[in-house]
Amino acid sequence: MKHGSQINGSRVLITGAGSGIGRLMALDAAARGASEILIWDLSEERGQSVRDEIVATGAKARSFSVNVADSDQVAVVAEATGPVDVLVNCAGVVTGKKLLDADEESIRRVFDVNTLALYWVTRAFLPGMLERDRGTVATISSAAGFTGVAKQTDYSASKFAAVGFTESLRSELRAEGSNVQTLVVCPYYINTGMFEGVQTKFPRLLPILEETNVATKVMDSIDSGREQLVMPSLVRILPAARMLPTRLFDKTMDFLGVNKTMDHFTGRRPMTPEPNTAAPAEEVESAARSQLQN
Ligand SMILES: NC(=O)c1ccc[n+]([C@@H]2O[C@H](COP(=O)([O-])OP(=O)(O)OC[C@H]3O[C@@H](n4cnc5c(N)ncnc54)[C@H](O)[C@@H]3O)[C@@H](O)[C@H]2O)c1
């Protein structure tokens, strides 16, 4: 089913929509005539501010403070959110340290948010999509979902998993003859601030992507029923490059400067409030329950 807009008239949920490309995709979905934008973010304040921006344009939006890594919270907040037609799994975190420098908590957080949350959130909304036999599950992976990168042992592995997650789900839906679609997005670095400090050796071949451009292309891809979006084009050679002998593959990645991109990584400067200062699980659950009762 690849006809017409998937977004116009649809209820669109974006996780991590309080910042970066999530926020821009939420605004873009509103501009494309989504019937309601559902904003999920760890930060209540940033989620509400994006909701206000959208409502100011005349579109309908609600925001929820939720930790997507917490399966119980996800189930409760999903009920308060209601059915959605388009789910964009966008929330993500990065550690940016060498294997032995990263602490256990950060490594777990990367897999909890970038990988396991895909299961909790998608499992909450997929049954409704299957029942209506329409909808899209879009997942933001990364170019690091195609190649390992120094200082990304956790991040890259979590994004490889996101590619495998979407590809497997796509196969299951295909086997069932379902019209529910999937999209996996694999961008190189984007100028959102999440990867502050990264450097690229060949800016023409591998440019740091512009966030508005990425957000627009993801929404275009959802709208047109595309299944994979890889940016920029050079990144599309990665799966084929894997056919090279490993040493040659590694040399190619080194030549492209991939393993030095993180040398000066500092990561996102603190935002207000800090991403991990979400309300405790009980508060989120009771807030979601009261929304359910209203
Ligand atoms: N920025 C890049 O260079 C880049 C490149 C490739 C892929 N990506 C991926 O794109 C996605 C968005 O990245 P961005 O640059 O817009 O990031 P960002 O840091 O601007 O936004 C991420 C948002 O996710 C939210 N979030 C984090 N943990 C959460 C949790 N447990 N529950 C709910 N919300 C949570 C944060 O509060 C934040 O608002 C991520 O999945 C990222 O891995 C980013």
Give Cβ neighbours of residue 183 (< 8 Å, ≥ 6 apart). 136, 137, 138, 139, 166, 218, 221, 222, 226, 227, 228, 229
Give CA–CA dist 16/271, Å, rounded: 14
Q: Is the CB of 194 inside a 6 Å radius of any atom of ligand 1? A: yes
For residue range 210-219, list pLDDT tens digits in order.
999 999 999 9
Residue 166 alpha carbon to ligand 1 centre in Å: 18
Question: pLDDT at position 72, please?
Answer: 98
Whether residue 287 has pLDDT greater than 80: no
For residue range 16-55, list pLDDT tens digits in order.
999 999 999 999 999 999 999 999 999 999 999 999 999 9
Q: Is the CB of 142 inside a 6 Å radius of any atom of ligand 1? A: yes
Domains along the sequence of the chain with CATH: 11-293 (3.40.50.720)
List 30's β-bridge partners, or say none. Answer: none
For residue range 184-219, list pLDDT tens digits in order.
999 999 999 999 999 999 999 999 999 999 999 999
Give CA–CA dist 163/239, Å, rounded: 12
Q: Amino acid identity of 33?
A: G
Whether residue 272 has pLDDT greater than 70: no
List 65's β-bridge partners, or say none. Answer: 41
Burial profile 223-245: b = 16 or more Cβ within 10 angstroms, e = fewer: bebbebbbbeebbeebeeeeeee
For residue range 129-169, list pLDDT tens digits in order.
999 999 999 999 999 999 999 999 999 999 999 999 999 99
Whether residue 12 has pLDDT greater than 60: yes
Residue 93 alpha carbon to ligand 1 centre in Å: 6
pTM tops 0.85: yes
Question: pLDDT at position 270, please?
Answer: 75
Whether residue 288 has pLDDT greater than 60: no
User: How far from the centroid of its chain's Cα atoms is residue 262's Cα?
Assistant: 20
Active site residues: 155
Give Cβ neighbours of residue 228 (< 8 Å, ≥ 6 apart). 183, 184, 185, 186
Q: Is the CB of 90 inside a 6 Å radius of any atom of ligand 1? A: yes
Question: pLDDT at position 109, please?
Answer: 98
Please, which pLDDT band fits residue 278 given cuts at 50, 70 and 90?
Answer: very low
